[in-house]
Structure 1
Amino acid sequence: MTVNNKRVFYVKYLAHEIYADILKRRPDVRLDRLENESPDEVAAPILSAAHAYQVGAARDELARHFHVDPELLRRAPNLLIVSSNGAGFDPVDVDACTAAGVLVVNQSGGNANSVAEHALGMLLTLSKRILEADRALRRGRDVNRNALIGNEAQGKTIGIVGLGNVGRRIAELCKGLLHMKVIACDPYLTAQEMAARGGEKVELDELLRRADFVSISCPLTRDSRGMIGAREFSLMPPHAFFITTARGFIHDEAALEEALSNKRIAGAGLDVWAKEPPPPDHPLLRFDNVLASPHTAGVTREARINMGKIAAEQILDALDGKRPPRIVNPEVWPAYAMRFERTFGFAPK
């Protein structure tokens, strides 16, 4: 093997150090690290030579000039592959990558169980009013427990928006552990496919009207951006809870604040935000019936190891000319294959 003829870089952090450990076993691969503050004289040669960019999925933790946009692609003319640390790819302009012949891959499914467990934890905490009870105890004496009556989740209906890797695991947990009825909305799956994943296929409006718990588990796309707003919250019954472990910008935070203020819904569990982490004075953090976390649903030791491992294996397979299993923009393959062959002298399969 030619030493260091395949160049990979990342900025600030990896999902787990196992990623670097796996790449270091390959003498033909060089892994470079940059920081958000890396000066151009350090960053420019690395970007110029890079064939692959392992990019962090958290948009607000990554310096804007390292987001994958037309300008970065101009600075990285040899770039073939952009690989997200997680299932999301917020800092990546997929259309710009496609136009440039750059393949985009993610690690979809790598943290599905962690995210699903987080969603289930939020569901139970909200339903049983555990958060409200905890806060009441910390604030004063003589807490009236009859003012904190919750509900069992068993037998209730959960509506899951997006029945992919995370959504189907939520369905499995809710149905298997709590015998809940699962309804789901996913335009990319047939009714038969959704039934196999444990959910009854319904349209979004019907899901919102019927569900006792609404769980958002879909990716952020042009179609899903702003999908849940004032109209959608108004369709939910007053006893229903809204839970999202997906991405910020899918739901309208101002509309959710209004729905909570007017008691149109019973509460919310929020792991994702328009600005991450949200500021301490964020309006949604003033509600006792809002359970909040700073995009940590998929941040477990087990998930981080798994994400790092599958990311490393996928990037090495791609650099070896194999077709990766988690392609975000499959339509780019012909252009990507031509660029790959010009770079390495053989066509990917």
Structure 2
Amino acid sequence: MTATGKRVVRSDLWISPAFDERLARESDISLAVFPIEGNDPLGRDLLAAAHVYHISAAKDELPQQWFARAELLSRCPDLLCVSAGGAGYDTVDVAACTAAGVAVVNQAGGNAVSVAEHTLGFMLGVSRRMLEGDRRMRREIGYTREDVMGREIRGKTVGLVGIGHIGTRVASLARAFGMEVIATDPFLSLDEIARRGAKAVSFDDLLAQSDFVSLHCPRDAGTLKLMNAKAFARMKKGAIFITTARGGIHDEAALVDALRSGHIAGAGIDVWDQEPPPLDHPLLAMDNVYATFHTAGVTHEARRNVAAIGAEQIVGLLRGERPPRLVNPEVWPAYEKRRARLFS
């Protein structure tokens, strides 16, 4: 095998230099970068020879011809792994990868601190009406402070839909603010949810009991439109909805209706069906909606951490180690056979 026998390919979308720096320390790994626009033949050629494709997880930034779908996989006979550059993998067809014997890994947990802090920022900002106060200060004089009077979060109940890396961190921060934490997670036992700092409840009970409902679950067939009109109606009147998960888990039109009716007091929204959302989106016109552009995990610290652990996971995987963040574990026997054949 040559000194650059193991080939990693990524696009030219921004990534922390920590990724390239870590791979550069491996003498048997080469890294190639293709432009997402302007030279498709180069991208196709590089991917056709790649062993690992480190793919952007940003579905509205990466052109769809570079998504890891069956058509692209069919042109990449040596591809062993698709490595998503974040906790999510919206740009990856996991089933198609599994069928092709391609491992899929993500970087779950790499940005947990940043997303959890953002979640608490939403909770504080919406409940204390900070954004409303800021906007009114900039456009009018004559209103009273009581006109933007908010509420403390101490003593309130936050319901976490999903308590993985991020949800566990949110639970810890929420308890530090004196909040009660409840959670639902179909992948965890009641004891494990308790160990992670929350009281386990059903989804319906969570909606009925929570002053804040905060989403921390993956986007998949089982969670699409999980927060629909019926779910918002089951929430406590005056509650606040928070999501830093993925667009599509909440029904945006249903949320607009719940806010307009006054049933939901406010919302903190970081993820959208279309990112960024159009400027005329009705949620952006509401002063009780704190809106951000999928930036909960976009901090200097989180981006460096995600890039570093992504590169480290690729290095280990190419050495033959089972990756710690394997999305499709059922592929592993087929992956090992393909890896042995390629690197024998």
Q: Which residue is 1:255 aligned to?
A: 254
What is the SS of the residue equivalent to 1:326? coil
1:279-298 aligned within 5 A: 279-298=278-297
Tell me the amino acid that sits aligned with residue 312 of structure 1. A
RMSD: 1.0
What is the SS of the residue equivalent to 1:61? coil
How many residue pairs were aligned? 344
TM-score (norm 2): 0.98
Per-residue CA distance 1:296-330 (angstroms, 9 max, x = gap): 00001111111111001000000010010000000
Q: Which residue is 1:117 aligned to?
A: 117
Q: Which residue is 1:240 aligned to?
A: 239
Q: Does 1:340 align with 2:339?
A: yes
Distance 1:338 1:104, change over 3 A: same
Partner Cα distance (1:42, 1:239) in 2: 54
Instruction: Give the CA deviation at 1:3.
Output: 1.3
Q: Which residue is 2:150 aligned to?
A: 150
Q: Which residue is 1:275 aligned to?
A: 274
Partner Cα distance (1:207, 1:235) in 2: 9
Q: Does 1:62 align with 2:62?
A: yes
Q: Which residue is 2:191 aligned to?
A: 192
Say whether the 8 Å CA contact 1:14–1:56 is kept in structure 2. no
Instruction: Give the CA deviation at 1:15.
Output: 3.2
Q: Does 1:3 align with 2:21?
A: no
Per-residue CA distance 1:201-234 (angstroms, 9 max, x = gap): 1111110110000100111111111111000000
* Structure 1 unmatched runs, 5+: none
Tell me the amino acid that sits aligned with residue 245 of structure 2. A
Q: Which residue is 2:105 aligned to?
A: 105
1:70-219 aligned within 5 A: 70-176=70-176, 178-219=177-218
Deviates more, 1:275-284 or 1:311-320: 275-284
Instruction: Give the CA deviation at 1:38.
Output: 4.2
Say whether the 8 Å CA contact 1:14–1:308 is kept in structure 2. no
Per-residue CA distance 1:161-191 (angstroms, 9 max, x = gap): 0000000000000002x11100001000111
Partner Cα distance (2:224, 2:286) in 1: 24
Partner Cα distance (1:27, 1:189) in 2: 41
Say whether the 8 Å CA contact 1:114–1:303 is kept in structure 2. yes
* Structure 2 unmatched runs, 5+: none
What is the SS of the residue equivalent to 2:314? helix
Q: Does 1:226 align with 2:225?
A: yes
TM-score (norm 1): 0.97
Say whether the 8 Å CA contact 1:15–1:307 is kept in structure 2. no
Say whether the 8 Å CA contact 1:106–1:327 is kept in structure 2. yes
Partner Cα distance (2:292, 2:112) in 1: 17
Tell me the amino acid that sits aligned with residue 143 of structure 1. Y
What is the SS of the residue equivalent to 2:91? coil
Tell me the amino acid that sits aligned with residue 297 of structure 2. G
